[in-house]
Amino acid sequence: MGFLDVNFVKALFALYIVAVSLIRLMYDKEFFRLTAMKKIFGRSLGLLIHFVTNVIMPLLFAIFFLCRGIVGFAIL
């Protein structure tokens, strides 16, 4: 197992997803899926669902895989 352990790669990919999702949320033009969720569920619930599924979940996966990668790297 080298420096680029599979868990590190998964963590980096999850952090990339978080960054892209946060940039989309901060962008002036709204993403079409967010607009659809806001129409279906209302403004507050639509934003909450979008934020949880596109930011919080990937961030949790990133933390999980980063920790697994660090523990796996420390064992070697």
Mean pLDDT, residues 36-59: 90
The secondary structure element, H or E, covering residue 65 is: helix 57-75
The confidence score (pLDDT) of residue 42 equals: 94
Residue in the structure block whose two tokens are 């990668």: 69
Residue 28 CB neighbours (<10 A): 4
Q: Where are the domains positioned within the chain?
A: 6-75
Asked if pLDDT for residue 69 goes beyond 80, the answer is: no
For residues 47 and 52, what is the distance between their CA atoms, to the nearest angstrom? Answer: 8
The confidence score (pLDDT) of residue 41 equals: 95
Q: Is 42 left (phi over 0), alpha (psi -120 to 50) or beta?
A: left
Q: pLDDT > 90: what percent of the chain? A: 13
Asked if pLDDT for residue 76 goes beyond 70, the answer is: no
Q: Are 66 and 12 in contact (CB under 8 A)?
A: no
